Amino acid sequence: MTLAGRLRRAALSLARSSGAFRAVGQSDWRRRRLTILCYHGLALEDEHLWRPGLYVTPAQFETRLARLRELGATVLPLDEALRRLRDGTLPPLAVTITFDDGGADFHSAALPLLRASGTPSTVYLTTYYCLAGGPIYSLAIDYLLWRGPARVLEPWPEMGITEVVRFDDERQRAALTRRIVAATRGPAFTVARRDALLDELAARLGGDARMLRRRRLLSIMTPDEVSDCARSGVAVQLHTHRHRTPRDAALFRRELDENARVIQRLSGSTPRHFCYPSGDYAPAMFDWLASAGVSSAVTCEVALAAAASPQFTLPRFLDTSQQPEAAFDGWVTGGAAWVSRPPWARRSAALPLSPLG
């Protein structure tokens, strides 16, 4: 961790222990704001060690739900939360919970905890792998390279590897993943062919790709699982069909329309809220979303949402296994926004400008 990161953590811990978080949480300023929590996945095996910036463990997520109750937060469905934000009728410590992508781990690990606690949630579902099945190819390659145990790959022309390649660190592993993905694009590389390549990759590295399918790691929910989520009250919303945000209007609209058709068929509801895949967006997309009847879009930018927040660039707090409890408390109460940039350092006191982390 960097020195700046350690200082931020120390400042958050001090603010929490001093009672500052509690004071901000009880303020009119916080009452006019909404915390949108963002999660990506719950680790079924060791995914939180592989990608700690994306995953939490089921135990950590259960602890977060308990912490929301301890803090006195009110968790609202997304649609209600945004409507009451605009109307100025939010309850104290208003929070809404969102999950990106719609991983199979949401259905198997998160949904039981949400059901048990009666907590509403939203899933922004990407639908290509929901229909195709199997692990997400690019993620599976990186995970298998990480899990090893080998850290060298012998020449493999079909995968674009013409020489011995070592990958001893995350940067080298990411470069090799991109290289393999680029070499295996095109109609010849069907889902079935890619699955076979994952098996061979694991064998070459001394691992086993079968556990990905057995435990359904790095997979998207099946259509039946999506329908079960919808019946359980989970709001299933838009995340594009192929997890892409094209800069071309026609291609963007095609991604959105394909995504919406699948979601409507599986959930029985028309989706009206959107999440930019990987937080990637351009201002031109705002008009494209509006013309498609979309009501809101969330980003990966960290702040509390206010009534004046633009509807297509709503901020969230990404909660991961790396986030300390003080940071979680800080973004639920709103105190972290003040630690991140105090009132006297802001251009306007209406909305925090600087994210934490």
Name the average pLDDT for the chain: 92
pLDDT at 275 over 60: yes
Residue bearing the bigger pLDDT, 340 or 139:
139
pLDDT of the residue at 347: 38
pLDDT of the residue at 1: 66
pLDDT at 305 over 80: yes
Q: How far apart are CA 161 and CA 287, in angstroms?
A: 43
**Measured between alpha carbons, how far is residue 335 from residues 3, 72, 86, 262 in Å?**
21, 15, 22, 40
Confidence tier at 54 by pLDDT (50, 70, 90) = very high
Strand partners of residue 75: 95
pLDDT at 73 over 50: yes
Enter the pTM of the model. Answer: 0.92
**Amino acid sitting at position 208:** D
In tens, the pLDDT along 84-103 reads 999 999 999 999 999 999 99
pLDDT of the residue at 8: 76
Asked if 150 and 167 count as a contact pair (C-beta separation under 8 A), the reply is: no
**Measured between alpha carbons, how far is residue 74 from residues 111, 262, 333, 345 in Å?**
18, 31, 11, 30
pLDDT at 293 over 80: yes
- 316 phi and psi angles, rounded to 5 deg: -140, 170
Convert 327-355 to b/e letters by CB count within 10 Å (16 or more is b). bbbbbbbbbbbbbbbeeeebeeeebbeeb
Strand partners of residue 125: 101, 238
Domain 32-131+219-323, architecture per CATH: Alpha-Beta Barrel (3.20)
pLDDT of the residue at 350: 34
pLDDT at 236 over 50: yes
When pLDDT is averaged across residues 168-191 and rounded to a whole number, the result is 94
When pLDDT is averaged across residues 105-123 and rounded to a whole number, the result is 98
When pLDDT is averaged across residues 277-303 and rounded to a whole number, the result is 97
**Amino acid sitting at position 3:** L
pLDDT at 345 over 70: no
pLDDT of the residue at 186: 92
Cis check for the bond before 91: say yes or no (omega within 30 of 0): no
In tens, the pLDDT along 4-48 reads 667 777 888 887 888 889 999 999 999 999 999 999 999 999 999
Asked if 180 and 166 count as a contact pair (C-beta separation under 8 A), the reply is: no
